Amino acid sequence: QQQVKQSPQSLIVQKGGISIINCAYENTAFDYFPWYQQFPGKGPALLIAIRPDVSEKKEGRFTISFNKSAKQFSLHIMDSQPGDSATYFCAASSQGYQKVTFGIGTKLQVIP
């Protein structure tokens, strides 16, 4: 059973555009929602994370929006750049247990 559902699986965005990746979760015990960025041949790297006590978190061009009632969260990449081309994973965990459940991943390609 996929506890964190991520879409789309692939995304092509023009340079300067907004990239949007969506995730939904089922386990209401989840209370920590990180996003990871993975380049080919590299391990995932933490990009940004949010806890459900806030509805939005922004770091530079990256913003997480969180909707607790809908059990959904999304990553927005503003002014997308070719260097942002990577696979992005949403994830979730509960504070009582640090096991991180990952989504299936979204392969983002930003074209010039």
5 contributes a contact to another protein by CB under 8 A: no
- Residue-by-residue DSSP string for 32-50: BEEEEEE-TTS--EEEEEE
Residue 92 interacting with another protein (CB under 8 A): no
> Whole-number minimum distance, CB 15 to another protein, in Å?
25
Binders of another protein among residues 27 to 66 (CB under 8 A) are 34, 36, 41-46, 49
Q: What is the largest CA-CA distance in the chain?
A: 44
Report yes or no: 58 and 51 within 8 Å, Cβ to Cβ: no
Question: Would you say 88 and 75 are in contact if contact means Cβ atoms under 8 Å apart?
Answer: yes
- Measured from the CB atom, the residue of 28 and 95 that comes closer to another protein is 95
**Closer Cβ to another protein, 17 or 107, answer by number:** 107
